[in-house]
Structure 1
Amino acid sequence: MIDLSLIKVFIIIYETKNISHAALKLNLSQPSVTYNLNRLRKFLNDPLFERDKFGVKPTKLAQSLYPSFSQSIAEIEMAITASKQFNPKTSSRVFRLGLSDLGEICLLPSLIEYLSKEAPFIKIHIEEIQSDKVEEWLIEGFLDVAVFNSSYTVMPKIESRNLFEERYMCIVKKQHPRVQDHVSLEQYLQEKHAAIKSSTGHIEIDQRLKELGLKRNIMLELPHFSVLQDVITSSELLITLPSRAAKVYERNSDVNIFELPFTVKPFNVSINWYNHRDDLEARTWFIQVLQNIFRCL
């Protein structure tokens, strides 16, 4: 019977096409890799790999064996992973979560509160969403899950589920001298605004005003909604932001929120992930936790 460790060596050599690179990836010495390869060569009565100027190239037999060898090892590794049942109460797994600034404001406090009680050893690494990179990050495993407005991002390889529909509202400090619990279109255009940079994906407001032949007076442009706390209470600026973020500021600051004086199409916030075969149980649990928290927001 063939030793499965020899199959693993074969697969890594085939994929790296270099004995020394394979040794590094396998965390073995180069002589050990060569020794194991020679054992497999003897067992199969074929050289399997031949030297070329860049490293090694597979023989015809190696090319025919690789698909079935690779699939078999992947299935074995999946079975081993599945046997190690994920237990959120004891797991110290690190989840890499991509969030928009809306997600940072609305989700993080509730997520940390939940994990403190239900999964105290879980660790969370937050990454700022970059819409042009998020698909690649999910596929490569740099992110486990991404939560953001993906309306303008096409990701054919990514699984996605809508979490909720969001709309924009306006917010000002309660002591604002001209604006209290509502604002007319004329006032909205006359007042100065703090806005989030369009490069971050928040483009709906100014796109809609442009359609109406209008333009707001933006005095301050910021990279994130999450840095607005002091700006709101220390200035007379109007700030237009998603309703859930506005309500967080309403709970924590002396502010008023109200509807916009013009209609803006709502947008969907979605949860996105890539179907990696490894660690499926843990990732499924994390996605379910995020969905449940957002339902309560």
Structure 2
Amino acid sequence: MDIHQVDLNLLKAFDAMMRTRSVTQAGIVLGLSQPAMSFALSKLRQMFDDPLFVRSARGMEPTARAQELAEPVTRMLYLVQDEILPRPTFHPASSRETFVMCMSDIGEMVFLPRLLKHLDGVAPHVKIKTVAPTPQELEAGLTEGDIALAVGVFPDLESASIRQKLLYQHSFVCVMRIDHPDIGQTMTKDEYEAADHVAVRPEGRRADQFEKTLERLGVHRNVRLSLPRYMGVPFIVADSNMIATVPLSVGRRFADFARVRLMPLPFNVPAYDLHLHWHSRFHNDPANVWMREVMSALVSTPKQPSAVE
């Protein structure tokens, strides 16, 4: 095949077919009508002298030749987009960009309010959408650009193509009802172990570092209730004798609106790092660079309380 016969737009059509396995959906991705997308697929078949995609009960399945082409075609399109075409400039004041971010409910409680307040002043038309994908979906989303940034602790993000920057050091605090009958102005290790606990264990995640630290210290926690998210914790704790161990910044937000108090843990738990993650493909993307700088400037590590709050 002569390189002069290669049409970059056809390769974009091929890439869309590989992603969607549907002529209709690929056309939607590219902004083409179904007849135009069918014509592009016909030209691709002529170019590579192969059916490339065959109809099945599960959609348009790629042939062996299409599977061979998928990775180099995607890599070439990324190269053209990221390194050959001129990068657009980013103007926060006029941009209507939607930034898709992976955040836990911790991030939504602690970071989103200050981020949105900042955007009101410097980028009033910029929109934020948060998502909660599985670890596998997160890495794919960052790679494809469907997710711009991930904020949090993601031990499953192991690809060398995923970059990260330290945002925050995560320490812990105990949350309990204001008038807890068994715990006074201080808390001992025995009292911690004797109490019933609410534990937050996000679905689909490995055992977190706090759980591993408790195991290493030989601290037993009697978990009576497990939740996948933090939002229910303050209401449950305020109306029961259960206690919960939460990130300090989250505990302080809970204390703002629920009848709970904060108590330092009766043993030393090292802080661990919360990072901002993005894919190398978007390292120099002006919008991504700007949002990373904004996030870094807005986030700081809070001081650990030395007494009951």
* TMscore range, shorter length: 0.7 to 0.9
1:142 is displaced (CA, Å) by: 2.4
CA contact under 8 A between 2:23 and 2:37: conserved in structure 1? no
Deviations 1:52-110 (A, max 9, x none): 5868999xxxxxxx89x96895479731xx34x32111111111010122212210111
Task: Report the number of matched residues.
Answer: 273
Partner of 1:273: 278
Cα distance in 2 for residues equivalent to 1:121 and 1:146 = 21
Distance change in 2, residues 1:10/1:295 (3 Å): same
Residue 182 of structure 1, aligned match among 182, 186, 196: 186
The one-letter code of the counterpart of 2:245 is T
Match of residue 239, structure 1, among 238, 244, 248: 244
**Deviation string, structure 1 residues 170-192 (Cα, Å, up to 9, x no partner):** 11121111213321011111111
Task: Report the counterpart of residue 8 of structure 1 in structure 2.
Answer: 8
Partner SS state of residue 289, structure 2: helix
- Given the alignment of the two structures, is residue 110 of structure 1 paired with residue 114 of structure 2, yes or no? yes
Deviation at 1:277, TM superposition (A): 5.1
Contact (CA 8 Å) 1:151, 1:268: kept in 2 or not?
Answer: no
Task: Tell me if 1:262 matches 2:261.
Answer: no
Counterpart of 2:214 (choices 209, 212, 217) is 209
Unaligned runs of 5+ in 2: 55-62, 66-72, 303-309
Q: Determine whether 1:294 maps to 2:299.
A: yes
1:161 aligned onto 2:168:
no
Change (3 A) 1:10 1:265: same
Structure 1 residue 117, shift from structure 2 partner: 2.1
Q: Is contact 1:158–1:273 with CA below 8 Å preserved after alignment?
A: yes
Code of the residue aligned with 1:192 in structure 2: it is D
Superposition pairs for residues 28-177 of structure 1, below 5 Å? 29-30=35-36, 48-50=47-49, 74=81, 78-79=85-86, 82-83=87-88, 85-128=89-132, 130-151=134-155, 153-177=157-181
1:193 to 161, 175, 197: 197
Q: Distance in 1 between matches of 2:64 and 2:222?
A: 64
Offset of 1:282 from its aligned partner?
0.9
Q: Which of the two has higher C-alpha Rg?
A: 1
Shift of 1:168: 1.4
Classify 1:9/1:227 alpha carbon distance in 2 versus 1 (closer, same or farther; 3 Å). Answer: same
Across the aligned residues of Structure 1 and Structure 2, the Cα RMSD in angstroms comes to 3.9
With over 3 angstroms needed to count, the CA separation of the structure-2 counterparts of 1:94 and 1:186, relative to structure 1, is: same
Q: Which amino acid aligns with 1:224?
A: R
Instruction: Sort the Cα spacing of 1:117 and 1:218 in 2 relative to 1 into closer, same or farther, 3 A.
Output: same
- Of all paired residues, the percent bearing the same amino acid is 20
Contact kept, 8 Å, 2:151 with 2:277, in 1: the verdict is yes
- Measured after TM superposition, the shift of residue 253 of structure 1 is 3.2
Decide whether aligned partners of structure 1 residues 127 and 259 sit closer, same or farther in structure 2, where only a CA change above 3 A counts.
same
Offset at 1:123? 1.2
Q: From the superposition, tell whether residues 206 and 275 of structure 1 become closer, same or farther in structure 2 (CA, over 3 Å).
A: closer
How far residue 194 of structure 1 moved from its aligned partner, in angstroms, is 0.8
Rounded Cα–Cα distance in structure 1 between residues aligned with 2:218 and 2:79:
62
Answer whether contact 1:145 1:272 (CA < 8 A) is retained. yes
Q: Which residue number corresponds to residue 42 of structure 1?
A: none
Cα deviation, 1:197-253, whole Å, max 9, x if unaligned, reads 264456334333333444211121111112223123222211101111112223333
User: Does the alignment pair 1:225 with 2:230?
Assistant: yes
Task: Give the 3 Å change call, closer, same or farther, for CA 260–26 of structure 1 in structure 2.
Answer: closer
Q: Conserved in 2, the CA contact under 8 Å of 1:206 and 1:215? A: no
Q: Is the partner of 1:180 in helix, strand or coil?
A: coil
Return closer, same or farther for 1:75/1:237 CA change in 2, 3 Å cut-off.
closer
Aligned-partner SS, 2:179: coil
1:150–1:268: 8 Å Cα contact kept in structure 2? no
- Cα distance 1:93–1:183, how it changes in 2: closer, same or farther (>3 A)? same
- TM (norm. structure 1) is 0.75
**Structure 1 CA distance for aligned equivalents of residues 136 and 190 of structure 2:** 36
SS at match of 2:99: strand
Equivalent residues of 1:129, 1:148 under 8 A apart: no
Is the CA contact (8 Å cut-off) linking 2:13 and 2:37 kept in structure 1?
Answer: no
Aligned 8 A contact 2:23 2:38 in 1: no
